[in-house]
Amino acid sequence: MTAPRIYKTTGIVLRQRRLGEADKIITLFTPNLGKLDAVAKGVRRPKSKLAGHVEPLTYTTFMLAKGRDLDIVTQAQMLDASLPLREDLERTGRALYVAELVDRFTPERQENYPVFRLLLETLRRLASEQDLDIILRFFEMRLLDHLGYRPQLEACVNCGGALEPVTNAWSVEAGGVLCPACARNAPLSHPLTVNALKMMRLLQKGDFAAVARVKTAPVLEAELERHLREYLIYVLERDIRSAHFLDTLRRTGGVARQS
Amino acid sequence: MSQTAPSAAMPVSRLIEAFNKLPGIGPKSAQRLTYYLLRAPQEEAQALAQAILEVKEKIILCSVCQNITDADPCSICQDGQRDRTKICVVEEPLDILALERTGSYKGLYHVLHGVISPMDGIGPDELKVRELLARLKIGDVQEVIMATNPNLEGEATAMYLTRLIAPLGIRVTRLARGLPVGADLEYADDVTLARALEGRQEV
């Protein structure tokens, strides 16, 4: 028996690219098929029935038809428009950052249900919670976990010795934390404060509710963001583009959040 | 692309390749256009070549609204009949043509030449945002109309600009979002329907 020509899947739209006159290629992340590209025909025309259902960051049910090269979207029905994500720039920017990371980190058509769940939960949190940055840190740490890049936080990566409650070092080359003695031979490492290490461990092992309960000072938040971003860029071997937009938002922020 | 018409004479295959680079033109269309021009009268080919050159030589960006123009400032910015207290912000020059066709807008424009797209590395610095803010600071503009496309990136751009413009004390409005004329309610997506409900009007 041959595989059916038309199949159904849910998926979260990560991004879109223009194709030809009126079409777009959409990249979706599905629970059972991983990341895949599909052609949405005619979505750049105003009367397109598909257009609204395949916007980035929507959670949608798709009917896809096997194509010669790319599969083609035949029907789409949005499950969750995540409206709040679209109406607040701070939320939109962070959601796009999340989408970019998932897109960059995952290979095509390789099932990874934990990543799908993490993505869906993260987008829902970004749509509803107030402390947005800690959602991103949690997402980053868990994404690394699910993809096999879990940083070593329990012992010194180099000598295996126990980590004392002092300022240790964060080394992306080593893949985790170095004790002060080993850090002396690692010129590219950065100081890692005791609180940052504790928080990282919680991000790696705790559930989100536990993470969200912790009150973090802005200095600590900045340190966590710096370390994790450095780690992600090191693993990806490329820049994270939407991170620049988050930086821009921060510079122009402070102005009352308005829609 | 270099495998097009290997047997054709050099100038011919060069033209085919040139056409092939244009958006929406595949190898076959490129060949058809080339052979059409080969058989067309000399003047027609001349006129086409001239038109292409002129577009590249004479068209510049208007120093005020950043629209493409052959005179600076462009004809819209120079027009004394237009309402100088309103600026309509659009993504591309083609959007101005669409808005002008309606005949119902008499204000000025500002072309961003793109839209904020964080994943493609396009931020406000890659757009004509600075030019817009400069216009708002000196002019007597009372209203800025956000006419970016109603998709995620267009919305993000509109929100970002709103954030920059609001402190200047200028009214910022957004084009209404809702159902297109001739649409089917049952196929409308949730976002569009929600916005259409929000923006409903007394009949």
* A88 contact residues in B (CB cutoff 8 A): 159
For residues B42 and B97, membership in a common domain is answered with no
Does residue B110 form part of some domain?
yes
**Total tally of structural domains belonging to chain B:** 2
Alpha-helix residue ranges (DSSP H) falling in B121-185: 129-138, 152-165
Is A130 an interface residue toward B (CB < 8 Å)?
Answer: no
Is A100 an interface residue toward B (CB < 8 Å)?
Answer: yes
Nearest residue to A56 via CA among A34, A25, A90: A25
For residues B165 and B123, membership in a common domain is answered with yes
Beta carbons of A96 and B119 less than 8 Å apart = yes
Beta carbons of A92 and B187 less than 8 Å apart = no
Q: Check residues A252 and B52 and name the one with the higher pLDDT.
A: B52
For residues B121 and B196, membership in a common domain is answered with yes
Residue A155: other Cβ atoms inside 10 A: 14
Does residue B5 form part of some domain?
no
Q: pLDDT by residue (tens digit) across A133-190?
A: 999 999 999 999 999 999 999 999 999 999 999 999 999 999 999 999 999 999 899 9
Token readout for B118 is: 């964080």
**Averaged pLDDT for residues A204-212:** 94
Q: Are B148 and B112 in contact (CB under 8 A)?
A: yes
Which H helix or E strand runs over B18? helix B10-20
Cα A220 versus chain centre, distance: 21
- Residue of B159, B183, B190 lying closest to A81 (CB–CB): B190
For residues B156 and B143, membership in a common domain is answered with yes
Q: pLDDT by residue (tens digit) across A61-96?
A: 999 999 888 999 999 999 987 788 988 999 999 999
Phi, psi of A173, deg, nearest 5: -65, -40
Residue of chain A whose alpha carbon sits nearest to that of B182: A47
- Residue of B163, B188, B191 lying closest to A252 (CB–CB): B163
For residues B40 and B77, membership in a common domain is answered with no
pLDDT of residue B91: 96
Nearest residue to A259 via CA among A2, A84, A98, A100: A84
Does residue B93 form part of some domain?
yes
For residues B78 and B175, membership in a common domain is answered with yes
3-state secondary structure (DSSP) of residue B31: helix
Residue of chain B whose alpha carbon sits nearest to that of A14: B119
Phi, psi of B166, deg, nearest 5: -50, -40
Token readout for A71 is: 């599969």
Alpha carbon distance, N-terminus to C-terminus of chain A: 53
For residues B17 and B71, membership in a common domain is answered with no
Range of the domain at B186: 61-202
Exposure string of A219-250, with b = 16+ CB inside 10 Å and e = fewer, is: ebbebbbebbbebbeebeeeebbbbbbbebbe
Q: pLDDT by residue (tens digit) across A228-237?
A: 999 999 999 9
pLDDT of residue A2: 63
pLDDT of residue A3: 64
Whichever domain contains B115, its CATH number is 3.40.1360.10
The strand ranges marked E within chain B are 60-61, 68-69, 83-90, 107-111, 143-146, 171-174
For residues B68 and B144, membership in a common domain is answered with yes
Choosing from B19, B43, B58, the residue where a domain stops is B58
How far is it, in rounded angstroms, from Cα B62 to Cα B75? 9
Ordered DSSP codes for chain A: -PPPSEEEEEEEEEEEEEETTTEEEEEEEETTTEEEEEEETTTTSTT-SSGGGGSTT-EEEEEEE--SSSEEEEEEEEEE--HHHHH-HHHHHHHHHHHHHHHHHS-BT---HHHHHHHHHHHHHHHH-S-HHHHHHHHHHHHHHHTT-PPB-SB-TTT-PBPPSS-EEEETTTTEEE-HHHHTT-TT-EEE-HHHHHHHHHHHHS-HHHHHHS---HHHHHHHHHHHHHHHHHHHTS--HHHHHHHHHHHHTTS----
Token readout for A82 is: 């995540």
Does residue B3 form part of some domain?
no
How far is it, in rounded angstroms, from Cα A249 to Cα A165? 35
Is B94 an interface residue toward A (CB < 8 Å)?
Answer: no
How far is it, in rounded angstroms, from Cα A49 to Cα B188? 7
Does residue B167 form part of some domain?
yes
Whichever domain contains B24, its CATH number is 1.10.8.420
- Give yes or no for residue A259 having a pLDDT over 80: no
For residues B109 and B195, membership in a common domain is answered with yes
Does residue B133 form part of some domain?
yes
Task: Quote the ipTM score.
Answer: 0.85
- Give yes or no for residue A246 having a pLDDT over 90: yes
pLDDT of residue A258: 37
Task: Specify the DSSP class assigned to residue B70.
Answer: S
For residues B105 and B189, membership in a common domain is answered with yes
Token readout for A80 is: 């969750």
3-state secondary structure (DSSP) of residue B145: strand
Token readout for A1 is: 């028996």
Phi, psi of A233, deg, nearest 5: -65, -35
Q: Which of residues 74-93 of B touch A (CB under 8 A)?
A: none
Beta carbons of B184 and A49 less than 8 Å apart = yes
For residues B26 and B119, membership in a common domain is answered with no
Does residue B37 form part of some domain?
yes
Task: Specify the DSSP class assigned to residue B3.
Answer: T
Q: pLDDT by residue (tens digit) across B64-100?
A: 999 999 888 999 999 999 999 999 999 999 999 999 9
- Test the B interface: residue of A92, A103, A240 with most B CBs within 10 Å: A92
3-state secondary structure (DSSP) of residue B163: helix
- Give yes or no for residue A1 having a pLDDT over 80: no
Does residue B172 form part of some domain?
yes
Question: How does pLDDT run along chain B (203 residues), one tens digit per residue?
Answer: 445 445 668 889 999 999 999 988 889 999 999 999 999 999 999 999 999 999 888 889 999 999 999 888 999 999 999 999 999 999 999 999 999 999 999 999 999 999 999 999 899 999 999 999 999 998 789 999 999 998 999 999 999 999 999 999 999 999 998 888 887 888 888 888 888 998 898 98
For residues B184 and B136, membership in a common domain is answered with yes
Q: Are B177 and B192 in contact (CB under 8 A)?
A: yes
Q: Are A174 and A155 in contact (CB under 8 A)?
A: no
Burial of B101 (0-12, 13-18, 19+ CB in 10 A): exposed
- Residue of A53, A242, A259 lying closest to B159 (CB–CB): A259
